């Protein structure tokens, strides 16, 4: 089973990169399953029903994950209740709307699970991501050994530790949130695909997706400035890897970055 994981989709440039690139890529690489992080899909901050439906209507994405920006657009609170293919980190308190995992039946009849968890270093202080994973994974394993984890975190050390912690327990631990793709993609010794960060699907000439002039101005002045998503050329970033559906072990992880003018 070949999986494409797409890093944080940022605003319209990100959605355009997907429209231009994803279908061709899926055809060319014979992709069976697609996960994409959508926490910045609506104007760079959060997700709306309209944007979620736009993403799903491309007919490409199976599951959308998210992270700390999930609630930036208020309507996400209701949208996530009606769209079970949109996940929020599983380590939010229990009473928070939405869910942190899903088990999907693929067209071939196999099952694949996606679990979204947030880190805590320089992030919101949610429940322990390590303990959350230990609680959630056995539950998902009742359905399938093929489990993809989106670990939405800031610190490289926390992401690395999380990958090692889950080596052999899940098919993949894919880092998101920093918007900068790392060059450490690997298959860990017990068969888990890992990368610290899948990178961003959004505007190239930007500061992690935001209009660069606004970010520079904020650094220079310390005056709060409303951030806007940058315009112009975009990049589609992510990783592709294979999962053995029986054992859940991964193989052959590759990074990709495709630029569009």
Using an 8 Å Cβ cutoff, are 36 and 61 in contact? yes
**Minimum CB separation from Fe ion for residue 48, in Å?**
16
Give first-to-last CA distance, the chain, whole Å.
Answer: 31
The interface region with Fe ion, picked from 38-46, 133-141, 182-190, 215-223 by CB under 5 A, is 38-46
Strand partners, 111: 105
- Residue 256: its H or E element: strand 250-260
C-beta of 65 vs 68, nearer to Fe ion: 68
**Minimum CB separation from Fe ion for residue 35, in Å?**
14
C-beta of 119 vs 248, nearer to Fe ion: 119
C-beta of 39 vs 242, nearer to Fe ion: 39
**Minimum CB separation from Fe ion for residue 181, in Å?**
13
Q: Is 143 a catalytic residue?
A: no
- Residue 65: its H or E element: strand 63-65
The interface region with Fe ion, picked from 32-40, 85-93, 164-172, 248-256 by CB under 5 A, is 32-40
Contacting Fe ion (CB under 5 A), which of 15, 73, 88, 177? 177
129-135 long-range contacts (CB < 8 A, ≥24 apart) are 129/91, 129/153, 129/158, 129/162, 130/162, 130/165, 132/90, 132/91, 132/100, 133/162, 133/165, 133/166, 133/169
C-beta of 62 vs 201, nearer to Fe ion: 201
**Minimum CB separation from Fe ion for residue 5, in Å?**
14
Give 171's DSSP letter: S
C-beta of 11 vs 67, nearer to Fe ion: 67
Q: Is residue 40 close enough to count as binding Fe ion by CB under 5 A?
A: yes
Tell me the number of residues near Fe ion by CB under 5 A. 6
- In degrees and rounded to multiples of 5, residue 237 shows phi and psi of -120, 145
Which is the catalytic residue, given 69, 152, 177, 179?
69
The interface region with Fe ion, picked from 40-48, 86-94, 112-120, 227-235 by CB under 5 A, is 40-48
**Minimum CB separation from Fe ion for residue 244, in Å?**
30
Give 113's DSSP letter: E
Using an 8 Å Cβ cutoff, are 175 and 142 in contact? no
Question: Alpha-carbon distance 18 to 40, whole Å?
Answer: 14
Contacting Fe ion (CB under 5 A), which of 7, 11, 14, 67? 67
Using an 8 Å Cβ cutoff, are 196 and 182 in contact? yes
Contacting Fe ion (CB under 5 A), which of 62, 65, 66, 68? 68
C-beta of 112 vs 200, nearer to Fe ion: 200
Question: Alpha-carbon distance 48 to 84, whole Å?
Answer: 14
Contacting Fe ion (CB under 5 A), which of 4, 6, 8, 140? 8
Give 167's DSSP letter: B
The residues binding Fe ion (CB under 5 A) are 8, 39-40, 67-68, 177
Residues noted as catalytic:
69
């Amino acid at each position: 089973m070949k999986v494409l994981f797409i890093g944080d989709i940022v605003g319209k440039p990100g959605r355009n990169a997907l429209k231009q690139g994803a279908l061709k890529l899926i055809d060319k690489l014979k992709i069976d399953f697609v996960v994409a992080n959508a926490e910045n899909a609506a104007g760079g901050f959060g997700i709306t029903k309209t944007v979620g439906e736009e993403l799903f209507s491309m007919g490409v994405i199976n599951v959308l994950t998210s992270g700390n920006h999930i609630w930036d657009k208020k309507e996400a609170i209701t949208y996530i209740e009606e769209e079970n293919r949109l996940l929020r980190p599983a380590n939010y308190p229990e009473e928070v709307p939405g869910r942190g995992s899903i088990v999907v039946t693929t067209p071939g009849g196999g099952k694949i699970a996606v679990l979204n968890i947030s880190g805590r270093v320089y992030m919101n202080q949610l429940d322990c991501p390590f303990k959350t994973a230990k609680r959630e994974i056995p539950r998902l394993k009742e359905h399938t050994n093929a489990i993809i984890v989106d670990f939405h975190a800031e610190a490289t050390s926390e992401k690395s530790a999380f990958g090692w912690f889950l080596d052999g327990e899940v098919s993949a631990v894919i880092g998101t949130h920093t918007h900068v793709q790392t060059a450490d993609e690997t298959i860990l010794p017990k068969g888990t695909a890992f990368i610290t960060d899948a990178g961003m699907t959004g505007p190239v000439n930007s500061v992690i997706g935001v209009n660069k002039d606004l970010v520079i101005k904020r650094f220079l002045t310390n005056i709060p400035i409303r951030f806007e998503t940058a315009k112009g050329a975009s990049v589609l970033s992510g990783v592709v890897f294979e999962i053995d559906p029986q054992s859940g072990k991964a193989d052959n992880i590759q990074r990709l970055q495709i630029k569009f003018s």
